[in-house]
Amino acid sequence: MLGCTRTLALTLFVSASICISFASIAGAQNPPPPTAAQNNSTAVLREVKSDGLKTFTNDQVTTLSGLQIGQQVGKDDLQGAADKLVQSGVFAHVKYNFQSRADGLVLLFHLEEAERIPAYFDNLPWFTDGELNDAIRAKISFYNGTLPSAGAVVEQAADAVSQFLGTHGLQAAVEHTVVANPNGEGSIQEFHIEGSSLSIESLKFSDASLNESKTVQQQLAELKGKPYSRMAIDLFLMEQVRPVYQKQGYLRAKLGPPEIRLTGNPNQKLPEKIPVFVPVVPGEIYKLKGVEWSGNSLLSTSTLSGDMGLKPGDVADGMAIEAGLERAREEYAHVGYLEAKIDPVANYDDQAHTVSYRVRVEEGGSYKFNALTITGLSPGAEKKLRDAWSIPQGEVFDKTIFEDFLTKLETKPHDIFGTLPVHYDNVGHWVQPDDAKHTVDVLLDFK
């Protein structure tokens, strides 16, 4: 039996913080008059108000704070309530002040809600998402399928899942981690258990062509026999199966979610080897209607459209479109615009089965090469490398030249070092831009 514990691990996929200072909270309150909560004096809490709310209600804030209307409160009680809101994780900023009335105290919280991310259940195949979400909602009334990245509310959600498992005879350690969303942009709050012995026996699709595809079936070796993980399955669908449909113009194909389909007595526990079924709805094939560019001045619209490699009326090959957008980014990097942003927005016409794109370009500025730092080479080898480096100091930093140079170091080192004996297993490489000077330093580390 595994103990019911929870841990929180924030991975490098996430960049999140709760920007709250307890000192600033205390300093934000107004000095109370003698009749209000001050030093050891107390007053009756008559009302709690909140501003800055988007998804919460005043009543929910009051519950989270631990306060109750009608109770006697002092300064420590109010600070403790603010601290609870901070520790809950659902608010990015918390301040408060209060006013005294003849009949008691009115408390006003000034709040900014923290970003919340979807809850995701990885290796809990015994239950549906709906059942697990309901278990959390029974404990956290405002739960809507999303949670903050950290805080007491996340711990409460993990408790709820753990208790739900326990009521069904499953004693397991429920842990949670913030990771990148395997199905799209952003992050998720992923719940999983440690020590599970479940593995993936097979994976079948509702689309027979996938079951017959040699390529897909060969790639399935990455999953079969491995520990059951919905995350691993979703990543497989996104990285290996999605491109199959994208190339054919099925831009809105729906893959999954994966299901567990068992035969036999439903009251028996799951077998250790689980058959997985993935429903697939390909949808319609879309054709490209056109691409509209805006914000570009350095590169012409015809140049950028040429990078796309498709013309209006062609089947909208999603992979070709992504590659075309990447070529457009490379066009900017070729002339030193390293921070150019190219953001496409797709507009679908479901009646005509066409798609058009509006692409917004933020070009940024051009960067010039400043310095090359080399570590791990002998003086003779370093001289050879510097002689082969072709971007002079003060010239535009062409990222394409830099990447070609790296390819030579990895595949054709003799083109750089000639007959000089040089031995290394890999080359660490970093590009360090100076945004203030618009220059770039390059570091190459040979190991």
- Which amino acid appears at position 16 of this protein? A
Measured distance CA(150)–CA(17) in Å, rounded: 9
Query: Which numeric CATH code is attached to 197-285?
Result: 3.10.20.310
Q: Are strands 43-51 and 104-113 parallel, antiparallel or unpaired?
A: parallel
- Which amino acid appears at position 101 of this protein? R
- Which amino acid appears at position 200 of this protein? I
Whole-Å CA distances, 234 to 16, 184, 208, 223? 24, 10, 19, 11
Answer for the pair 132, 124: CB distance below 8 angstroms, yes or no. yes
Determine the pLDDT at residue 265: 54
160 phi and psi angles, rounded to 5 deg: -60, -45
DSSP 150: S
Q: How many helices (H) and strands (E) does the chain have?
A: 14, 20
Question: What is the dihedral sign for C-alpha 11, 15, 18, 23?
Answer: positive
Which residues does residue 100 pair with via DSSP β-bridges, in sequence order?
A: 105
If phi > 0 it is left, if psi is from -120 to 50 it is alpha, else beta; for residue 295 that is left
Its CATH architecture, for the domain 22-113, is: Roll (3.10)
Measured distance CA(361)–CA(378) in Å, rounded: 44
Is 197-285 in the same CATH topology as 22-113? Answer: yes
Superfamily of domain 287-362: membrane protein fhac (3.10.20.310)
Question: Three-state SS for 237?
Answer: helix
DSSP 315: B
- Token pair 């009326």 in the structure block, residue: 313
- Which amino acid appears at position 276 of this protein? V
Measured distance CA(438)–CA(441) in Å, rounded: 10
Which residues lie closer than 8 Å to 256 by C-beta, 6 or more apart? 233, 234, 237, 278, 279, 280
Question: Three-state SS for 431?
Answer: strand
Measured distance CA(123)–CA(117) in Å, rounded: 19
Q: What angle do CA 132, 138, 143 make, to 5 degrees?
A: 75
Measured distance CA(166)–CA(409) in Å, rounded: 56
Give alpha helix (H) positions in 50-151.
58-65, 75-88, 129-139
Question: Three-state SS for 148?
Answer: coil
Residue (of 30, 153, 5, 24) closest to 89 by Cα position? 153
For residue 257, cis peptide bond before it (omega within 30 degrees of 0): yes
Secondary-structure class of domain 370-446 per CATH:
alpha beta
- What are the tokens at 417? 């070092």
Measured distance CA(24)–CA(99) in Å, rounded: 19
Relative orientation angle of helices 75-88 and 152-167, to the nearest 10 degrees: 70
Per-residue pLDDT of the chain (447 residues; tens, 9 = 90+): 443 333 333 232 333 333 333 333 333 444 444 444 445 588 999 999 999 999 999 999 999 999 999 999 999 999 999 999 999 999 999 999 999 999 999 999 999 999 999 999 999 998 999 999 999 999 999 999 999 999 999 999 999 999 999 998 888 889 999 999 999 889 999 999 988 888 999 999 999 999 999 999 999 988 999 999 999 999 999 999 999 999 999 999 999 999 987 665 555 666 788 999 999 999 999 999 999 999 999 999 999 999 999 999 999 999 999 999 999 999 999 999 999 999 999 999 999 999 999 999 999 999 999 999 999 999 999 999 999 999 999 999 999 999 999 999 999 999 999 999 999 999 999 999 999 999 999 999 999
Whole-Å CA distances, 246 to 205, 241, 292? 17, 9, 21
Delimit the domains of the chain by residue range.
Answer: 22-113, 197-285, 287-362, 370-446
- Token pair 């794109």 in the structure block, residue: 357
